[in-house]
Amino acid sequence: HNGVEHLVYASSSSVYGSNTNMPLSVHDNVDHPMSTYAATKKSNELMAHSYSHLFNLPTTGLRFFTVYGPWGRPDMALFLFTRAILKGEKLPVFNYGKHTRDFTYIDDIVEGVVRALDKTAESDSNYDSSNPDSGTSSVPWRVYNIGGGQPVELLKYIELIEDATGKKADLDLLPLQVGDVPDTDADVSDLQIDIGYKPTTTVEVGVRKFVEWYRDFYKV
């Protein structure tokens, strides 16, 4: 591990797969992924655990919940929705817009990552191998949810984009995609207790900031 003192890496809320027990907790079982992407993120956590066990390397995995904000990936929902609405293009909306997401603004993500980096993962002295906890271990390995704490229905999310752009969306309502999950809602209590994480950006403010950035960057 080349002298690394503490490895913090990105996991994903997708590891929860078919779990419908909300809010989603790091202490829940995550052995039922619904996509290959989710399976690779779960594998990421398992690989980190093996390094923590073999080399006593502290590792911390952060399960990101629907990150959004300026400079976001152009293949993600907020970017695609904003572009389609501003161009007057038809907007495909899966699950008829009824699923919910725990949107997390990029500034809150960055603060959480920095705080996690400063909190080196430790072994859990109360770990019981006969009744294993999915979120901790007998080795210096931890996983945390990092979410916004405010699940929003997709149709409401689109309304916020409409408000920020001043334009109406032309919706094409479609069934849920195979491999997608209907809802996400992060239980961030472990992260709050261990590092003092507290998201501060509401989805209303976050969407407005993104649209302002998009208009300025693309001059539209």
How many domains are there within the chain?
A: 1
Going by C-alpha positions, the residue among 174, 176, 182, 188 that lies closest to residue 153 is: 182
At 152-180, the pLDDT tens digits run: 999 999 999 999 999 999 999 999 999 89
Task: Assess if residue 125 is contained within a domain.
Answer: yes
Pairing of strands 152-153, 7-12: unpaired
Residue 51 lies in a domain: yes
**Rg of the chain's alpha carbons, rounded to an integer?**
19
Q: Which residue type, as a one-letter code, is found at position 73?
A: R
* 2 domain residue, yes or no: no
Q: Is residue 116 part of a domain?
A: yes
Assessment of whether the complete model's pTM goes beyond 0.85: yes
| CATH number of the domain to which 82 belongs | 3.40.50.720
Q: Does residue 117 lie in a domain region?
A: yes
Quick: pLDDT tens for 107-143. Answer: 999 999 999 999 999 999 999 999 999 999 999 999 9
| Mean pLDDT over each residue of the chain, to the nearest integer | 96
Q: Among 37, 96, 127, 218, which one carries the catalytic annotation? A: 37
- Give 112-143 as a DSSP string: HHHHHHHS-----TT--TTS--TT--SSSEEE
**Is 37 among the residues known to form the active site?**
yes
Domain with 191 in it: 7-218
In a domain, 1, yes or no: no
DSSP conformation class of 66: S
